[in-house]
Amino acid sequence: MDITLIISGGILIGCIIALSWFAGSDAPYVPTKMDKIKEILKLAGDKKTPVFPLIGKKFYELGSGDGRVVREAARLGAKAFGIEQSWIRVLYSRWKSHNLKLNNAKFMHGNIFKKNYKDADIVYIYLLSKAVKRLEKKLSNELKKESVMITQTYHFPTLKPFKKTDDFWFYKT
């Protein structure tokens, strides 16, 4: 086979993988900065168990990217789930949590709007405003009482937050 053809094919496949890494229908892939996330997750947890404040909690991240926030929630004791539409990011997240032996961090491939979150204690959302607005309605109908929702940068248009810290807003159902 012609070497130019092989190189062009390789470049094309590389470009497709690179583009699909950043793509996302309700938000492109922009990861949460990790410097504050531990403190933010702790605020949604139980102060009586400061080392594992999320123990006994079910944590969901809607659009989990490379899985970094789910892994942090798992380290803090939660049964943590990420839902992500990019297969590359789901596979990377599974590989990373397997390597770190975080058995309580799970990643599902799919569209966040097609899943139900009725068992969630904490939901974390970093998506664009249109998706956040749609989720406000969906989560208000689905979540049990006293669940905590955390939005980053783009926030629910109607619900009143009980706390705001930097770019993170906290809500209760």
Cβ distance 109 to 85 under 8 Å?
Answer: yes
Three-class secondary structure of residue 154 per DSSP: coil
Q: Read off φ and ψ for residue 159, nearest 5 degrees.
A: -60, 145
Query: Token pair for residue 144?
Result: 């049990």
- Nearer residue to ligand SAM within complex by CB, 24 or 45: 24
- Nearer residue to ligand SAM within complex by CB, 33 or 164: 33
Rg, Å, the chain Cα set: 18
- Nearer residue to ligand SAM within complex by CB, 31 or 50: 31
Q: Read off φ and ψ for residue 131, nearest 5 degrees.
A: -70, -40
Shortest spacing between CB 72 and ligand SAM, in angstroms: 10
Shortest spacing between CB 153 and ligand SAM, in angstroms: 8
- The site for ligand SAM (CB under 6 A) is made up of 24-27, 29-32, 61, 63-65, 68-69, 83-86, 89, 111-113, 126-127
